[in-house]
Amino acid sequence: MQFELSEEQRAYVASAREFAQAEFRPNAAHWDESSIFPKSALKAAGDLGFMGMYTPEDAGGLGMSRLDASLIVEELARGCTTTAAFLTIHNMATAMIGKYCQQSVVDSWCPSLVAGETLASYCLTEPGAGSDAAALRTSASKDGDVYRLNGSKVFISGAGETDVLVVMARTGDSGARGITAFLVPADLEGISYGKKESKMGWNAQPTRQISFDNVCVPAINRLGEEGQGFSIAMEGLDGGRINIATCSLGTAQQAIVDATAYVKDRQQFNTAISEFQHTQFQIADMLTELVASRQMIRLAASKLDNGDPNASTYCAMAKRFATDAGFKVCNEALQLFGGYGYIREYPMERYVRDTRVHQILEGTNEIMRVIISRQALMDGALEVIQ
């Protein structure tokens, strides 16, 4: 079992770190405070290939493994949690288009998507279908060479600012087998966008509801076959869980770096805070949980890359553990800053706000426990989940 990164992987990490520290980190607080969606920074990420990391090579992407992509995402999240998180959503949608759309559609959309010149949103969640994604009600009815799309989606990252939507809609009976995926240009007639949500965190990307009123979507824009949408969505979510866990990991890594530097410099009772045993133990526990999270994420990514039949369970475990641990680490880093951690002059409060939602999206951590426990209770399962 190989735990060390290859030279090529180390080069990915170095490139992503340099980019994130130069492009994301100096601007993250401003983007957050002013609710700026940094399209120019995303385009710059596209220039390095970061907007099409695991999109197939024949669609113009890098065709990376999920493990290699996670190395890059971790470094990007150290620069700006919110922008890195949107970048992963864009990557997920773009990879779906590149893998499942007809070649003419791939040729029309993927070059600009992988370059970051156009942006994609992923549309699964509905007002009445959050954790129970198979219960979605947005419908797509075939009418000649188009589908007529009706319904609504909520909590859609980038909505109103992106150029293309990957939409899951019902084309058949109730349940998972009646769902189909579509590429929907974001400016089609009949699409309307709700107000930009005022959120606790993730302020550097807009979140809106999207409504579809008899929107005519060309049949050629379907991803895969009718009824294949739910499996495409779940495949995307396995990788999405690795992505969002990695965003927590990267943010928590930066929080520890910042907090460690602070406690070495800050003095109380004529002694550096770092000299107090409680502080030392706190940092030791934070770092241990961070390294454990990193190994779980990389294990899950490797399982997904290698087509392990239990990859979904590993992805759920990594997501549950790393997003809980990442939020805890950021919160404890804020505590080490004392009152300064609570004011916006320092990034600690932003780290806490931005990582909190990771325990909710891509499947809540309660749903992750459902996935894990179902697998664990199957006969013989514990002999193969190791």
Known catalytic residues are: 362
CA dist 179 → 22, 31, 143, 147, 213 (Å): 42, 36, 17, 13, 18
- Angle, to 10 degrees, between the axis of helix 277-305 and the axis of helix 311-336? 160
- Angle, to 10 degrees, between the axis of helix 81-100 and the axis of helix 103-114? 160
Give which of 169, 160, 140 is closest to 209, Cα–Cα: 160
Q: Which residues, listed in sequence order, are joined to residue 181 by a DSSP beta bridge?
A: 168, 223
Give which of 205, 105, 269, 287 is closest to 96, Cα–Cα: 105
CA dist., res. 108 & res. 309, Å (int): 34
CA dist., res. 98 & res. 113, Å (int): 10
Token representation of residue 74: 């971790």
> At a CB cut-off of 8 Å and minimum separation 6, what does 245 contact?
293, 296, 297, 300, 318, 319, 321, 322, 323, 326, 358
> At a CB cut-off of 8 Å and minimum separation 6, what does 328 contact?
286, 289
The beta strands (E) that lie in 21-107 are given as none
CA dist., res. 228 & res. 232, Å (int): 6
* Contact yes or no for 331/257 (Cβ under 8 A): no
> At a CB cut-off of 8 Å and minimum separation 6, what does 264 contact?
272, 273, 274
User: CA angle at residue 80 from 76 to 86, to 5 degrees?
Assistant: 80
